[in-house]
Structure 1
Amino acid sequence: MAVPAKYRQLGDFWEYYAGIRVAPVLTVVIGGNHECMAYMWELYHGGWLAPNIYFLGAAGSIYVNPTIADPSKATPIRLSGMSGIYKSFDYKRGHFETVPFNEKSVKSAYHVREYDVLKLKQLSRRKTKDVVDLFMSHDWPVTITRYGDERKLLQQKPFFREEAKSGTLGSVPALELLHHLAPAYWFSAHLHVKFAALVSHGKLIQDVRALPPAPTNTAHAGNPDEIALDDDEAMEIVNPDKIDLDMDDSDDEELAEEAPCTGTKSDQQVEVTSNQEEPANIPEESVDQVEKESDPEAVREKVHELAGTSMDDIMEAKDMILAEEETGTSEQDATKPGLETRFLALDKCGFGRDFIQFMDIPTGGPSTGPPRLHFDPEWLAISRAFHQYLPLNSSFAHLPTTSQIDSAMAEAQTWIDTNIMAQPFDVQTLENGVVLQPMDIEQVQTFCFTAPPHNAPEAAQPNQWFTNMQTEAFAGFIGVENKINPLPTGGA
């Protein structure tokens, strides 16, 4: 896990994995930049990290379906997201990291990849204000501070001032997805401060058009593992009125309930080596490190490493967004007046910190039980269509062209419709009495131990291969090969 040495101690998550603790609320999570990446990678396509704690994967989309007396009146909620943080030097590479990680790859493993962002861009864009869809990212969309109380934010985090002023604070791909999907809600974390904003999508596209040309003297870092941001050009984006979202304090970080299952693992020992060179400089990627610095120049450098991006990257995103608008590949409904995204970032957990927020979302009737997680049919087709292009090496990923995407999506949609959507539904009832519905995730994936829990008598051996059976099940469900952690040849 990518944390300073003094924080490398076992926490309490293993107790949820082992079933010693049971979280009381159905929870959906994404990954940030201090994760156990070996376990996250096992569930690249998404799955249960522990009973009742569902991970969206590197990127993903599901439905949260409320349980009400009249299911026909239920309002489904689409929940999409991407894990990790944006770093330009890894963005166009493949998912090359493997166990055992070194000090570099344990960080690059959670850096967002363009391949996964391109998959998310295939999701349908919100067309009306009636759709309830939510998106989660760890870092913030770049320029988002312009749509909230930026002055208050900078009073709390003054070391973000230069990046906020120049419009380089945040993630470029997150901005692209914010424009492309126009979700009703967007949730982020990473910067350890509570911040709310209200984005009008008509205003957003106006602001993108108003971005100045890329500066001609932008400096580029010689070392591809570092970022040098030397331009202080201010971005001409009008700061809207301060926004105070009318929400009560509450939390998104809850855990959940046990579901018995037996997993499969191989006792085969595998030889794993790493030929990746050790980096000369490993950037700090936690706001806590910034806050401890006393030297202003050191603070500036760490802010760049933590949350800054280059103006060149922003200009590339501008061109992409405007190209979507001009070619009509993004639907114009989302720029109509009145369509908005409510953005909310929360502080880290701690006494006296704003890390919890409760929100009410109408479900169409009184609840008769806990909500259920369902597969998003559109995401199933996207996952199948893009599977053949999954990049697993460190070179620049060769992404599919528009025509290749169109062809692959047409085939995948037909396959999903024929082999999943049109198939008769086999009613199943769980031990707790819950009757599974069509497209219920637990029809395919249930929590299973991959490695033995920490308190198990059999200890996992170093370099032991573990196949996550949820990933095997998902791959079989959409009719593709498990490229993430397949069963060893001759093993089961």
Structure 2
Amino acid sequence: MVKVAIVGCCHGELNKIYNSLKNSYVELLIICGDFQAIRNYRDLDMISVPNKYKQLGDFHRYYSGELKAPVLTIFIGGNHESSGYLQELKYGGFVAPNIYYLGDFGSIYYKGLRITGQSGIWNEHSFMNRQVETIPFDNSTVRSIYHIKAKTFLKSYLMKDDKCIDISLSHDWPQDIVHYGDIRGLLKYKPFFKNDIETGKLGNPLAKILLHNLRSRYWFSAHLHVKFSASVEHENKKRKGSLTNSLPIEKKFKDDIKEESIQNEKKLNLINKEELSLDMDEENFSNNDNTPNKEELSLDMDEEYSSNNQEPVNKEEISLDMDNEFSDDKEINQIGIATNLTTEFLALDKCLPKRKYIEYLDIESTNSSSDENLYFDKRSIAINKVIENFVKQNSREWAKISKSDLLSIDTSLTTLVDELNREISFEVSKLNKLPDSEFVIDQKNFKIIAPIESRSEIPLKYWQNNQTDNYISKFMK
């Protein structure tokens, strides 16, 4: 059993988050994005936020060694990140002692828990961009760099194998997840979600595919700045694909729910009219491929909401029973390796006072282990190698794959998926011959490479990271 704390959007508030963990005996902290690993003032040139919100935050003190994270912390990237630093660790790595970034895509083991995730958010206009964003970022690329790309999605999709994934992470919510939980309760706090829910535009369609394909025991997200839980029952067929799964309730709302949401919207209109503000995403887009995404949230969306106390106080913020919203279902804790039929979903708020941004779970791993080291998931290593080689060596075939192909991957790309899976299995068989010690992710490999916090002039560049170099030389050749 692993005592896990889950946090929604961090927004650089590490000190507040770690202070919340005092006396909680947490072994592992998971942060679901908008972490903001800002090392110095130059990193502020590589983050997509309005200028008035560009501040160092707490992370630079952990990067420099002035402070150390009191608990092992794992995070994915969101849409408000120090994108330069995260790109230096695209295959994952420690950004500071005891703080590990999963990478664009990654999967690791901790005490037997298999944890996988992908960073960034969905944007249909840049999903198929095949050009790599480079420094210096402009008003377009500073945003498109955190949009999930086709290659990253394909890697995540191929994580399905005969072993259970305990935890999956995405910054934005899987599309249609709201239909598996309390929509009425959600609309009390976020009435302006109504239209996007009705039209199916709320959420990430890639995450929806992965949710049903991977069938993780737990799925954690953030981004929409509200706590929401759901329970997804998958089809009773071994590893069935996602697109045939029907929703548990009709997408068309009942009249009473519509009327209730309308009344709530009137009450909260002045407070919430900027909740989905595009003020950080509307500035001078240089091409049509990076049209603003309506779900790229503004950092200022909660200021009035917070100051007017419109959201209820979470008096049980440090509750180990998660406010009774998650039951410790025996079916979940005693699942068969490849037959998990239920995914428990939880999204959390941003780190602000009186907000439901943190929850605690005791999670029993399907691969019991007391080893406190982080380990690379061999399958994720094999996937990185196979997909990177495929994209480089089969550029014409890769270029022929369309967005619609990937959004219907369960049926449109079965031959390719089968071929890639065979190559991945072959690579895994080679990795299986190596001792377990070869897959330990040693935080002693962390080095301070970029200059620490300083107002002196710092070059705008990618700093070559030894952890990435080691990963490539060890696993990608």
User: Normalising by structure 2, what TM-score?
Assistant: 0.65
Q: 1:133 pairs with 160, 166, 172, which one?
A: 166
Distance 1:180 1:334 in 2: 14
Partner of 1:39: 85
Partner of 1:473: 470
Distance 1:92 1:211 in 2: 27
Alignment partner of 2:381: what SS? helix
Distance 1:365 1:88 in 2: 37
Distance 1:364 1:180 in 2: 19
Q: 1:146 pairs with 176, 179, 196, which one?
A: 179
Percent identity, aligned pairs only?
36
The CA RMSD measured in Å over matched residues stands at 3.8
User: How far off is 1:461 after superposition?
Assistant: 2.4
Distance 2:56 2:439 in 1: 36
Distance 2:212 2:374 in 1: 26
Residues 213, 242 of structure 2: 8 Å contact kept: no
Q: 1:175 pairs with 199, 208, 211, which one?
A: 208
Partner of 2:364: 362
User: How far off is 1:124 after superposition?
Assistant: 2.4
Partner of 2:343: 341
Is 1:157 the equivalent of 2:190?
A: yes
Partner of 1:460: 458
- Return closer, same or farther for 1:6/1:117 CA change in 2, 3 Å cut-off: same
Whichever residue aligns with residue 470 of structure 2, its letter is A
Is 1:166 the equivalent of 2:199?
A: yes
Partner of 1:107: 143
Query: Can you list the C-alpha shifts for 1:30-83, whole angstroms capped at 9, x where unaligned?
Result: 000000111111111111111111111111111112xxxxxxxxxx11100011
Residues 128, 149 of structure 2: 8 Å contact kept: yes
Query: Can you list the C-alpha shifts for 1:328-386, whole angstroms capped at 9, x where unaligned?
Result: xxxxx9997x7100000000001100001010013599997x72210111111111111
Partner of 2:56: 10
- Return closer, same or farther for 1:94/1:161 CA change in 2, 3 Å cut-off: same
Alignment partner of 1:90: what SS? coil
User: How far off is 1:477 after superposition?
Assistant: 1.2
Partner of 1:60: 106
Distance 2:343 2:291 in 1: 38
Distance 1:447 1:98 in 2: 24
- Return closer, same or farther for 1:96/1:353 CA change in 2, 3 Å cut-off: same
Q: Say which structure is richer in helix.
A: 2
Whichever residue aligns with residue 459 of structure 2, its letter is Q
Query: Can you list the C-alpha shifts for 1:165-210, whole angstroms capped at 9, x where unaligned?
Result: 2332100000000010010000000000000000001299899548
Alignment partner of 1:202: what SS? coil
Residues 126, 182 of structure 1: 8 Å contact kept: no
Distance 1:77 1:384 in 2: 23
Query: Can you list the C-alpha shifts for 1:146-179, whole angstroms capped at 9, x where unaligned?
Result: 1111101000001101112233210000000001
Distance 2:471 2:107 in 1: 14
Residues 169, 219 of structure 2: 8 Å contact kept: yes
Distance 2:353 2:364 in 1: 31
Partner of 1:80: 116
Whichever residue aligns with residue 357 of structure 1, its letter is E
User: How far off is 1:94 after superposition?
Assistant: 2.0
- Return closer, same or farther for 1:362/1:106 CA change in 2, 3 Å cut-off: same
Whichever residue aligns with residue 477 of structure 1, its letter is K
Structural mapping, 1:46-445, within 5 Å: 46-65=92-111, 76-125=112-161, 131=164, 133-202=166-235, 209=244, 235=251, 277=286, 285-286=296-297, 288=299, 339-362=341-364, 371-390=372-391, 398=399, 406-407=418-419, 409-411=421-423, 413-418=425-430, 420-423=431-434, 437-442=437-442
Higher Cα radius of gyration? 1
- Return closer, same or farther for 1:334/1:161 CA change in 2, 3 Å cut-off: farther
Alignment partner of 1:19: what SS? coil
Query: Can you list the C-alpha shifts for 1:12-40, whole angstroms capped at 9, x where unaligned?
Result: 21111111110011111000000011111
Distance 1:350 1:106 in 2: 26
Structure 2 unaligned blocks of 5 or more: 1-46, 255-284, 306-335, 402-412
- Return closer, same or farther for 1:412/1:169 CA change in 2, 3 Å cut-off: closer
Whichever residue aligns with residue 38 of structure 1, its letter is G
Structure 1 unaligned blocks of 5 or more: 66-75, 213-233, 239-275, 295-332, 426-436, 481-492
Whichever residue aligns with residue 191 of structure 2, its letter is P
- Return closer, same or farther for 1:77/1:447 CA change in 2, 3 Å cut-off: same
Residues 121, 147 of structure 2: 8 Å contact kept: yes
Alignment partner of 2:172: what SS? coil
Distance 1:168 1:192 in 2: 17
Query: Can you list the C-alpha shifts for 1:380-431, whole angstroms capped at 9, x where unaligned?
Result: 111111112457xxx996278765665555455445543x432457xxxxxx
User: Normalising by structure 1, what TM-score?
Assistant: 0.63
